[in-house]
């Protein structure tokens, strides 16, 4: 019985030692913060903001045109016949529809452009993270950005590789 107990204890100790020697190295990084410190991100955002300005200017022009025609309609509607009023109301409705259509298309174009501009930035960051993980022997790197979409609710303490990846990207 004593030998059986000793054998079981020895097996348990060996299993624990085997488990700890095979422990996986885990790291974490605040991916959002990394992206925001990259100069390529700033360049992409500036290009995107330039396009947003162009769309906003066009929307403001369309809005002013609508306001002017609406003011003209309100000032003169009592003087006009029903036919002219109908034409002017249709013009206002068409302007409003064009404005809404343009605003929706502009939003879609901005989202497409944002994706196009930021895709290489994300790829560069992911490659740097992958390179650092391989160099340092990490088997898993978790995004610790902390937003509500984060899938990791709790993790054991791990290594933060933010500064290592910044250095890999040449960011000081």
**Structural domain includes residue 10:** no
Position 80 in a domain: yes
What is the per-residue pLDDT for 7? 44
19 assigned to some structural domain: no
Q: Does 155 reside within a domain? A: yes
Distance, in Å, from the CA atom of 161 to the CA atom of 128, rounded to the nearest integer, reads: 11
Tell me what pLDDT residue 149 has. 56
Domain count, the chain: 1
- Regions of the chain with pLDDT less than 70: 1-23, 147-157
Range of the domain at 77: 24-168
Query: Is 3 a domain residue?
Result: no
Q: Is the overall model pTM greater than 0.85, yes or no? A: no
Q: Is 4 inside a domain boundary? A: no
- Long-range residue pairs from 140-144, CB within 8 A, at least 24 positions apart, any chain: 140/24, 140/25, 140/26, 140/27, 141/26, 141/27, 141/28, 141/29, 142/26, 142/27, 142/28, 142/29, 143/28, 143/29, 143/30, 143/31, 144/28, 144/29, 144/30, 144/31
- What local confidence, expressed as pLDDT, does residue 19 receive? 46
């Amino acid at each position: 019985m004593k030998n059986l107990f000793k054998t079981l204890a020895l097996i348990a100790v060996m299993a624990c030692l085997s488990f700890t020697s095979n422990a996986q190295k885990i790291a974490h990084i605040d991916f959002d913060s990394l992206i925001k410190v990259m100069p390529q991100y700033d360049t992409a955002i500036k290009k995107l903001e330039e396009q947003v300005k162009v769309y906003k200017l066009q929307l403001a022009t369309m809005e002013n045109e609508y306001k002017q025609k609406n003011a003209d309609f309100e000032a003169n509607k009592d003087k006009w016949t029903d036919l002219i009023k109908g034409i002017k109301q249709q013009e206002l409705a068409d302007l409003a529809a064009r404005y809404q259509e343009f605003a929706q298309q502009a939003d879609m174009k901005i989202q497409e452009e944002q994706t196009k501009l930021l895709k290489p930035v994300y790829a560069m960051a992911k490659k740097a993270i992958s390179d650092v993980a391989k160099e340092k022997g990490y088997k898993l790197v978790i995004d610790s950005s902390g937003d509500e979409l984060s899938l990791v609710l709790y993790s054991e303490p791990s290594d933060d590789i933010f500064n290592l990846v910044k250095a890999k990207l040449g960011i000081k």
